[in-house]
Amino acid sequence: MISIIIPIKDGHVSDLCQSTIDIVEENIPTAQIIVVNSGKPFSPTKSRVLVSEIQTNSRAQRINHGIDLAKNEMIILLHPRSALSLEGLNYILSNEKELTWGAFTHKFDKENPLLKFTSWYSNNVRGKIREIYYLDHCLYIKKDLLTKTGGLPDLDIFEDTALCERLRKESSSKLLPFVSTTSAVRFSKNGMLRQSILNQVLKLCYMLKLNNEQMNKVYEYGIELNSKY
């Protein structure tokens, strides 16, 4: 059985994410769906959704709160602007004993050469080679492994990177062939090239161990999807 954790801000769940909630509600009766919200209240449209309201500006804290509420051994971190297929979810259910941690194959919801390259790099270089997956890959992780590694580090940004750095020390990951379709909203709003350059600059800042709150302020400026400053 699986527990699906969705960290959101100001009660907003994207259409992509809602489509996955609908799939789970209709097809996987044993799944636990946990929405952890900060800010404006969230009113679920589905009866099986467990909503927990906490006041924090940290996505990592929302996810860790959801992990505490999870009742099942396999946890899926569903990005609030991503969608998973029933086929992919059923694969997790059918192979739960053999899976430890990993992610779904990344794909953007828009067609663009730069976005296509970004997904290819994310899957084949950062993912398969370095075993670093961002949350929009929708990570799956055994709860006991999360507990052993201390959950998500309390960082404002790159908490997913820091988590994977912990997990890969314990066991190898598996990138599933099933797709996580993710919104390209940041690229659409900020411009393809500008957002791509910003992403690379922030990666360098993370490697240099600069202040994560300041980095996230830059990342969220003008859009504030995960945090509000």
Is 80 exceeded by the pLDDT of residue 46?
no
What does the pLDDT average to over 202-214? 97
The predicted pLDDT at position 76 comes to 98
Phi, psi of 112 (to 5 degrees): -165, 140
Query: Which residues are CB-contacts of 218 (< 8 A; sequence separation ≥ 6)?
Result: 198, 202
Residue count of the chain, please give it: 229
Distances (CA, A) of 133 to 106, 120, 138, 217: 9, 12, 8, 21
**pLDDT tens-digit profile of 1-43?**
899 999 999 999 999 999 999 999 999 999 999 999 999 999 8
Cα three-residue angle 20-191-187, rounded to 5 degrees: 15
Instruction: Provide the percentage of residues in the chain whose pLDDT is more than 90.
Output: 96
What does the pLDDT average to over 146-173? 96
Query: Which residues are CB-contacts of 101 (< 8 A; sequence separation ≥ 6)?
Result: 139, 140, 141, 142, 145, 167, 171, 173, 174
**Contact 34/66 with Cβ under 8 angstroms?**
yes
Average pLDDT of the chain is: 96
Is 90 exceeded by the pLDDT of residue 47?
no
DSSP per residue, 114-157: HHHHHHHHIIIIIITTT----GGG--EEEHHHHHHHTSS-S-SS
**pLDDT tens-digit profile of 89-104?**
999 999 999 999 999 9
Nearest to 37 by CA among 59, 49, 52: 52
Domains annotated for the chain, with CATH where assigned, are: 2-187 (3.90.550.10)
**pLDDT tens-digit profile of 114-155?**
999 999 999 999 999 999 999 999 999 999 999 999 999 999
The whole-model pTM stands at: 0.95
